Structure 1
Amino acid sequence: MVKSGGKCALALCAVAAVFASASVARAEDPSSWREIETKYIFGFTLGSGIGLEGEKEVTVDTIGRFGKREGNYAATETKYEFEFTPSQFIQIEFGALGSTHDIHGVTDLDDRSQIALSGAFAEFRYLALERTSSNPLAVTLAVEPTIRRIDETSGDRVRNYEFETTVNADLELLRNRLYAGFNLLYEPEFTKPAFGDSFHEATAGGSAALSFRILSNVVLGGEVWYLRHYDAANLTSFTGDAILLGPTLYIQFTPKSFMSAAWNAQVWGREIGNPVSLNLSEFQRNRVKLKFAYEF
């Protein structure tokens, strides 16, 4: 699966190279570029942007997770979102979730090949600190409750309730060109399987990202994530952690449409009580994100 992750990275670079070569003749002075919304320019890391007041957006946002210790493991979850910004400080999203699973020969997971409508979600974002001409830092607080009927890892039928809480911050290092993004994450979950006892778990961690605007409509960058897994919502039963990193890409096709993409590979991890390298029990070897959006 590392090979497939490498292909994803090469694909991102190839797309960026095509756009760069096609646009070099019409490159502009960065000082004349329109301000960019930073929410989606950092890959899995989210920026502080919430859009303009009254703006609406529809998006298709897919995350794929690939690779366990053995066998074949591929799972995707797609958000079909509607997003709107009722005020200059608040953004609301909601939508449905679809999932796919292709699992064969993976320890502790049943073999399956399925496509399902897996749940629903909502997200509420509040711009706590706005960027100004004298303040390059912006901070947004976000909560995302999610309900699933299909487990995102195993594909089993469950009742799963998740409440992701994040702090999304970004810093404009060079006017209209260079941005740094930072996230803090706390994600408790409650799961009731069709058979067996219910259980609690949580993921916590943070990320750092750097994105450079090489053209007015193309942003390239990279990010690193550190994630910890617990078998308790109150973070008292630590089971393992991992570091993931990789490239990011953002392309603005028109003033109202864009795409973002990212690939993260696990470069370090540990499972408590297991001396093997990497943590492929709670996390995956590779994850890929692809998002298309249209604003109106």
Structure 2
Amino acid sequence: MRGWAGQCYALGLLISCGLVGYAGSARAQDASSWKEIETKYIFGFTTGSGIGLEGEKEFTVDIIGRFGKRDGHYAATETKYEFEFTPNQFIQIEFGALGSTHNIGGVTDLDDRSQFALGGAFAELRYLAIERTSSNPLAVTLAVEPTVRRIDETSGERVRNFEFETTVNADLELLKNRLFAGFNLLYEPEVTQTATGDTQREATFGGSAALSIRIASNVVVGGEVWYLRHYDAANLTSFTGDAVMLGPSLYIQFTPKMFMTAAWNTQVWGRETGNPVSLNLAEFQRNRARLKFAWEF
């Protein structure tokens, strides 16, 4: 637990350093003179509405880590090696491969393992439904992401998993080029066939709210909160528990064609159906982190 708390503190310290280092330049600069920023990546785990410019291509390495269960040691990561392109001003297409790692020891109901594996593949289609204009500060994108996995996200076991994530990504420009609010609505049904032949159906439903401020032309800091519900049925009829996750985010654009996103979420509240213990560490993790690097061309 100290290790995860230390990493959370380190990310907070990183954001604080960014605030101190760039606050002076932010005050000296006129935000109205800054170039418009693509909002897709500035909210951490919350995804903004941006889809990039027509004809733009991008390669991304997106690492999501999940840490901490009720007992023992638990650390798992899933990395997206992703190519995306924007064929027109309303559509963005993404696809790529998944790599996964698991380091598990002494966790109830999970086998001990230490492994790296090719986890599966995914694709995503994003459609800009409402475009931001000078008279309309709101932008909304609809996204669907089918995913096929051969390695279970949580346990690291070999499975056949099919997931179909559907999201609404919205953001609101509160201050021109400076302050943004982001909102996500998530529905993620999936079906898993285990090595023993069992079939499991489940779904996650929830949403997020985020606030990010641009403290320099190339630096954005913020925070987000997620509320997530888990069901043992794709039609949301068998509720098993929920959780609230909260944490900071950081976006840095190193060059006009290269940027980084970092985020950390900690579960601050949760419940498992029929279990009086605090937090929900059966369906969700204690902490999660995100580190994304992208190169446009």
Query: How far does the alpha carbon of each residue in 1:186-222 deviate from its partner, in whole angstroms, 9 at most, with x for none?
Result: 0000000011411100000000000000111000000
1:131 aligned residue: 132
Aligned in 2, Cα 1:85/1:11: closer, same or farther, shift over 3 Å?
Answer: same
Q: Which moved more, 1:244-253 or 1:194-203?
A: 194-203
2:208 aligned residue: 207
Checking the alignment, whether the CA contact within 8 Å between 2:77 and 2:101 is kept in structure 1 is yes
Aligned in 2, Cα 1:51/1:104: closer, same or farther, shift over 3 Å?
Answer: same
Checking the alignment, whether the CA contact within 8 Å between 1:140 and 1:169 is kept in structure 2 is yes
Q: State whether structure 2 residue 68 is matched by structure 1 residue 67.
A: yes
SS of the aligned residue for 1:21 comes to helix
SS of the aligned residue for 1:232 comes to coil
1:112 aligned residue: 113
1:11 aligned residue: 11
**Cα distance in 1 for residues equivalent to 2:63 and 2:286:** 17
**Cα distance in 1 for residues equivalent to 2:286 and 2:159:** 24
**Cα distance in 1 for residues equivalent to 2:9 and 2:173:** 25
SS of the aligned residue for 1:7 comes to helix
- Map 1:47-196 to 2 at 5 A: 47-196=48-197
TM-score, scaled to structure 2: 0.97
**Cα distance in 2 for residues equivalent to 1:278 and 1:31:** 44
Checking the alignment, whether the CA contact within 8 Å between 2:22 and 2:216 is kept in structure 1 is no
Checking the alignment, whether the CA contact within 8 Å between 1:91 and 1:124 is kept in structure 2 is yes
2:39 aligned residue: 38
SS of the aligned residue for 1:31 comes to helix
**Cα distance in 2 for residues equivalent to 1:96 and 1:40:** 20
**Cα distance in 2 for residues equivalent to 1:158 and 1:227:** 24
Q: Which runs of 4+ in 1 moved over 3 A?
A: 22-27
TM-score, scaled to structure 1: 0.97
The amino acid across from 1:114 in the alignment is Q
Stretches of structure 1 that go unaligned for 5 or more consecutive residues are none
Query: How far does the alpha carbon of each residue in 1:92-135 deviate from its partner, in whole angstroms, 9 at most, with x for none?
Result: 00000000000000000000000001100000000000000000
Query: How far does the alpha carbon of each residue in 1:59-113 deviate from its partner, in whole angstroms, 9 at most, with x for none?
Result: 0000000000000000000000000000000000000000000000000000000
The amino acid across from 2:11 in the alignment is A
1:236 aligned residue: 237
Query: How far does the alpha carbon of each residue in 1:32-79 deviate from its partner, in whole angstroms, 9 at most, with x for none?
Result: 100000000000000000000000000000000000000000000000
1:29 aligned residue: 30
**Cα distance in 2 for residues equivalent to 1:28 and 1:195:** 61
Checking the alignment, whether the CA contact within 8 Å between 1:5 and 1:265 is kept in structure 2 is no
**Cα distance in 2 for residues equivalent to 1:22 and 1:272:** 46
**Cα distance in 1 for residues equivalent to 2:294 and 2:9:** 21
The amino acid across from 1:280 in the alignment is L
Checking the alignment, whether the CA contact within 8 Å between 1:5 and 1:263 is kept in structure 2 is no
Aligned in 2, Cα 1:167/1:22: closer, same or farther, shift over 3 Å?
Answer: closer
What percentage of residue pairs aligned between the two structures are identical? 78
**Cα distance in 2 for residues equivalent to 1:53 and 1:212:** 26
Aligned in 2, Cα 1:135/1:197: closer, same or farther, shift over 3 Å?
Answer: same
The amino acid across from 1:195 in the alignment is T
**Cα distance in 2 for residues equivalent to 1:181 and 1:258:** 19
Query: How far does the alpha carbon of each residue in 1:206-247 deviate from its partner, in whole angstroms, 9 at most, with x for none?
Result: 000000001110000000000000000000000000000000
Note the C-alpha offset of 1:263. 0.2
SS of the aligned residue for 2:41 comes to coil
CA RMSD of aligned residues (A): 1.4
Query: How far does the alpha carbon of each residue in 1:132-164 deviate from its partner, in whole angstroms, 9 at most, with x for none?
Result: 000000000000000000001000000000000
1:245 aligned residue: 246
Note the C-alpha offset of 1:8. 3.1
**Cα distance in 2 for residues equivalent to 1:5 and 1:63:** 17
